[in-house]
Amino acid sequence: MTALQLLLKNVRVYGAEAWSRCDLRIAGGRVAELAPSLLPLPAETVLSASTCILVPGFVDVHVHLREPGFLYKETIASGTAAGARGGYAALGAMPNLEPPPDSPAHLAVEEAAIAKDACIAVYPYGCLSEGRRGERLAELEALAPRVLAFSDDGSGLQSDALMREAMRRARALGKIVAAHCEDESLLDGGYIHAGAYARAHGHRGISSESEWRQIARDLALVRETGAAYHVCHISTKESVALIRRAKAEGLDVSCETGPHYLVLCDEDLQEDGRFKMNPPLRSAADREALLAGLLDGTIDMIATDHAPHTAAEKSRGLAGSAMGVVGLETAFAVLYTHLVRPGLLPLSRLVELMHTNPARRFGIHVPAEDLALWELALPYAVDAAEFRSMGKSTPFLGERVYGRCLLNLCGGRAVWQDEALFALRKG
């Protein structure tokens, strides 16, 4: 990328939980100066940036980077490049890998790949159970100092006794248990939401109960053990209600949901693998409940569940395709377009959901110099060919959105720079 020497005039800057208008000088990969009015230096490119915002680098605590083990789907290099383009500074990498990070030796394989290839910060999760098989717990004590939290994401931990023991030990270690909640006894071969679309088109459904039943089980165990507990990708109205009550009760509970659950529902389904993920797109009533939960603080954060697969794996329709869609490069634009622009969610609240809250809950330090510049006024169509992720399957394909990351400054360098948009703004 070309060396940056820029003066941006009249940018909206988010800092100390408030917005202000500033001029911004960027030199190399850093913000060199920020003041109400700056004069250009010789050889500096000056851009009018009144439709741009400068916000802290986002934090996504739920992504699948596929390395080690599944490099044909995504790598640390391509996944973090996608995160950089999406304005992220830090990612939490889920442990459904090969080898899965269930011991220090297995974790070391993932750590080496991160050290070698990550262009933004990556924090690995440790497995809850050995091999994520749900039979014996992983080496939690040995893993604890080196992992973000513990999770068996990809599947739910079915054994009540094992979850109780995991929560006791995680609590003693000061670590969060981040649960993918899915009661397998209630699955019955489903692959999309058990609702109107599944019934009308003869598909096998995944009941809402398979999610909320296991959340209810876990909340009872949190009450018993005092563990710090985080629910991954909640998708149902019952889940929102359960977590709202648990918080009112004072339990140490948090949760996330994904952009697709907030702006899509099973009425939007098409016979195409890019609409297939787990949990599935639920009903319109579920989507409304998630939005209410976002607004009243029941839902703490947005996580994309970025889950890349190959084109072939996603080409087999709703029944046959792999579960999971990519999300890092569309999350902010989709939420800005569908929630912030229509006035449903304040922009500052979206920054809290994508930066402040996940960083605080998971103890992730994002350096103050990690900042991203976004252009908000020029609409564009989501084009998977532009993705830096190896995964191209998104339910937002072709959608007209606002919010494009112009520049992502992370660790003292520009990890993403939208050359085309820069050229346009200079002209």
Check residue 180 for interaction with Zn ion (CB under 5 A): yes
Stretch that binds Zn ion, among 45-53, 153-161, 349-357, 366-374 (CB under 5 A): 153-161
Judged by CB under 5 A, the stretch of 210-218, 228-236, 242-250, 411-419 that binds Zn ion is: 228-236
Query: Which is nearer to Zn ion, 153 or 238 (by Cβ)?
Result: 153
Q: Which residue is nearest to Zn ion (CB)?
A: 180
> Measured from the CB atom, is 262 or 345 closer to Zn ion?
262
Interstrand relation of 413-417 and 404-410 (parallel, antiparallel or unpaired): antiparallel
Asked, as a colleague might, if the bond just before 99 is cis with ω within 30 of 0, I would say yes
Please identify, among the stretches 83-91, 110-118, 203-211, 225-233, the one whose residues bind Zn ion according to the rule CB under 5 A: 225-233
Shortest Cβ 161–Zn ion spacing (Å): 22
Active-site residue identified among 266, 305, 370, 418:
305
Q: Which is nearer to Zn ion, 325 or 405 (CB)?
A: 325
Smallest gap from Cβ 272 to Zn ion, in A, equals: 21
Reference 25, options 3, 9, 2, 48; nearest CA is: 9
Q: At what angle do helices 284-295 and 237-249 cross, to 10 degrees?
A: 30
Whole-number minimum distance, CB 153 to Zn ion, in Å?
A: 4
CA distance 54 to 369: 11
Site for Zn ion in 48-107 (CB under 5 A): none
Region binding Zn ion by CB under 5 A among candidate stretches 122-130, 174-182, 211-219, 365-373 = 174-182
Strand partners, 410: 413
3-11, 125-133, 147-155, 308-316 -> range binding Zn ion (CB under 5 A): 147-155
Rounded to a whole number of angstroms, the minimum distance from the CB of residue 120 to Zn ion is: 22
- 153 is an interface residue for Zn ion by CB under 5 A: yes
The yes or no reply on residue 266 touching Zn ion (CB under 5 A) is: no
Let me know if 383 is a catalytic residue. Answer: no
Q: C-beta of 232: minimal distance to Zn ion in Å? A: 5
Tell me how many residues contact Zn ion (CB under 5 A). Answer: 3
Q: Which is nearer to Zn ion, 121 or 232 (CB)?
A: 232
Decide whether 232 or 301 has the Cβ nearer to Zn ion.
Answer: 232
Q: Which is nearer to Zn ion, 180 or 355 (CB)?
A: 180
Shortest distance (Å) from residue 216 CB to Zn ion: 18
Would you say how long the chain is, in residues?
427
Residues 6+ apart with CB under 8 A from 375: 51, 52, 403, 404, 406, 418, 421, 425
Stretch of 229-237, 243-251, 260-268, 358-366 contacting Zn ion, by CB under 5 A:
229-237
Cis geometry, peptide bond prior to residue 379 (ω within 30 degrees of 0): no
Q: To the nearest whole angstrom, how small is the minimum distance from the Cβ of residue 214 to Zn ion?
A: 12
Q: Which is nearer to Zn ion, 57 or 126 (CB)?
A: 126
Lookup: tokens for 67 = 């390395």
- Give residue for tokens 């850093």: 30
Least distance (Å) between residue 154 CB and Zn ion: 6
Is 230 near Zn ion (CB under 5 A)?
no
Name which of 246 and 307 has its Cβ closer to Zn ion. 307
User: Are 382 and 389 contacting, i.e. CB atoms less than 8 angstroms apart?
Assistant: no
Burial class (CB in 10 A: 0-12, 13-18, 19+), 427: exposed
Is residue 218 part of the contact set for Zn ion (CB under 5 A)? no
Using left for φ > 0, alpha for ψ between -120 and 50, and beta otherwise, residue 315 falls in alpha
Instruction: Judge if the upstream peptide bond of residue 56 is cis by omega within 30 degrees of 0.
Output: no
Residues with active-site annotation: 305
Site of interaction with Zn ion (CB under 5 A): 153, 180, 232
